[in-house]
Structure 1
Amino acid sequence: MPRTALWSAIHKTLSAEIASGHFPPGEKLPTEAELSARFGVNRHTVRRALADLADEGMVHARRGAGVFVAARPVDYPVGRRTRLKQNLAAAGRTAGRETLSLISRPADPREAEALQIPEGDEVHVMEGISLIDGQPLAWFRSAFPAGRYPELGAALAASASITEALRAIGIADYTRAETRLTATRADAIQAGHLRLREGDPLLRAVSINIDPEGRPVEYGRTWFAGDRITLTVAPDP
């Protein structure tokens, strides 16, 4: 009876452990040295097993960081109402946010045009990372008209979500006026925040949200990790 190749046995073991949740999506696998010690083989054998897992889409390597279990892509509905936190909750997944900065400054020309305010008027600008199950999904930058909503800066600082912050200042609902989607590639900063390699694919969404009176509330730019998002388009109810 022919013997099973060692790399194939390692591949089978790791594949089963990933499938059973031993290594959840987004988690880093042990290093090649640790796996070599665990299975009593050389690094070349471990590397062959990891390469086959990568070919199957179960893991992916990040240069200088290691090998990570591939995350399941999340559905991103393109419609009048896009609430990432609600969509993830409905799918049994957990949304989070890491705020990188929150400042007030003069609006640049693009922000002024999108928010329908004079160029140079003050805007609240938030930058941060959207998380899914504790792993980075997207890097975002959102601008809000400070003159129209002067109390929003404090609400954003105190809230876990933009929707909740808007509700706190009396905006019970808002809708998407437009969304523009383009493919791009991660620069060094984006790659670092999203735990990607520089040049990895991103999906950029540029959107304008409006309040019930049709006034722009938010001009947002979001860069999603390309392999962690799936666009879905359905008629709004």
Structure 2
Amino acid sequence: MSGDLLPGAKLPTTQALMANYGVTNQTVQRSLAVLKQEGFLIGRAGSGVYVRENPQQAVEPASYMPPSSPGEPHSWVTEAAKRNLRGEARILEVGEARPPAQVRDALGLPENGVAVMRHRLMLLNGQPAELIRSYYPVEIARGTRLADRRRIPGGSPTLLTEMGMPPVEFVDRISVRLPTSEEFVALELPDDVPVLRTFRIVFTVERRPIEASVLVKAGHVFELEYRLPAR
């Protein structure tokens, strides 16, 4: 995790690890098994144990907010390509639903209010990477592509811009917790690995909230990168 062992590097022998850390062979083997399960190490029969080739990925949330250029795919796809990965989205559910209280408050909905919800599983190289539930006020989403189960060309920022409500600001609230059963299965997580949960509110230039999303990523695979302007 610190980068002392580079991606693809071979680990020292079991004897060397025992001597370096002052532990027994059993402790070394258990530790290696945990790191393999979490995806940090890969064992190669007859060769040894190696650090996985793909290091923890740094994701810059701000890069996903601007609308895509004409004819370009969703920013999840283009940003993945910059990291030499194949990004895709799998739509799990679309429809009107009563959102959680946190979403209701963010969108200014009444207690029994409903919103249009889009639930997607995002993949990198065919592997589950992120679960996203996005909610939109029904007065702007009903009857539009936001309420359609099909993919949105260029993603929601592009569609909202075309609808005259370009997203210009977002607020992220980030927390770390253990996954729910649904997240554990959908993201194919190892045991005892936490998730990064981001609660995001998107605003127009008039500070009108037009989208609230809950994004869940595997904590051992991703880290978040934010760039702030110098004062």
TM-score (norm 2): 0.65
CA drift of 1:106 comes to 3.5
Report the Cα distance in structure 2 between the residues aligned to 1:98 and 1:214, rounded to whole angstroms: 30
CA drift of 1:127 comes to 1.5
Q: How many residues align?
A: 183
- Matched position secondary structure for 1:148: helix
**Equivalent of 2:90 in 98, 107, 111:** 98
**Equivalent of 1:54 in 33, 36, 61:** 36
Residue 14 (structure 1) aligns with: none
Q: Deviations over 1:89-140 (max 9, x none)?
A: 3333222111111110244432221012333233101222111122111112
Report the Cα distance in structure 2 between the residues aligned to 1:71 and 1:150, rounded to whole angstroms: 41
CA drift of 1:162 comes to 2.8
User: 1:8-87, aligned counterparts within 5 Å?
Assistant: 51=33, 54=36, 57-59=40-42, 71-79=54-62, 82=65, 83-87=75-79
Report the Cα distance in structure 1 between the residues aligned to 2:85 and 2:221, rounded to whole angstroms: 13
CA drift of 1:85 comes to 3.8
Residue 182 (structure 1) aligns with: 175
Structure 2 gap segments, 5+ residues each: 1-6, 9-28, 44-51, 66-74
Residue 163 (structure 1) aligns with: 157
Q: Relative to structure 1, is the Cα distance of residues 86 and 209 closer, same or farther in structure 2, using a 3 angstrom cutoff?
A: farther
1:213 maps to 2:206: yes
CA drift of 1:221 comes to 0.6
Report the Cα distance in structure 2 between the residues aligned to 1:156 and 1:168, rounded to whole angstroms: 16
CA drift of 1:59 comes to 3.1
Q: Kindly, what percent of the aligned residue pairs are identical?
A: 19
Report the Cα distance in structure 1 between the residues aligned to 2:54 and 2:113, rounded to whole angstroms: 41
AA aligned to 2:41 is M
Residue 114 (structure 1) aligns with: 106
TM-score (norm 1): 0.64
Between 193-202 and 84-93, the greater mean CA deviation after superposition? 84-93
Contact 2:135 2:213 (8 Å CA) reproduced = yes
Q: Deviations over 1:165-215 (max 9, x none)?
A: 4345444x3144310111111222211100113532111111101123321
- Matched position secondary structure for 1:137: strand
Q: Relative to structure 1, is the Cα distance of residues 138 and 71 closer, same or farther in structure 2, using a 3 angstrom cutoff?
A: farther
- Matched position secondary structure for 1:227: coil
Residue 133 (structure 1) aligns with: 125
Report the Cα distance in structure 2 between the residues aligned to 1:113 and 1:194, rounded to whole angstroms: 28
Residue 235 (structure 1) aligns with: 228
Q: Relative to structure 1, is the Cα distance of residues 53 and 233 closer, same or farther in structure 2, using a 3 angstrom cutoff?
A: closer
Residue 30 (structure 1) aligns with: none
CA drift of 1:151 comes to 2.8
Report the Cα distance in structure 2 between the residues aligned to 1:214 and 1:156, rounded to whole angstroms: 26
AA aligned to 2:58 is D
4+ long deviations beyond 6 Å: none
AA aligned to 2:188 is R
Superposition CA RMSD, Å: 3.4
- Matched position secondary structure for 1:147: helix
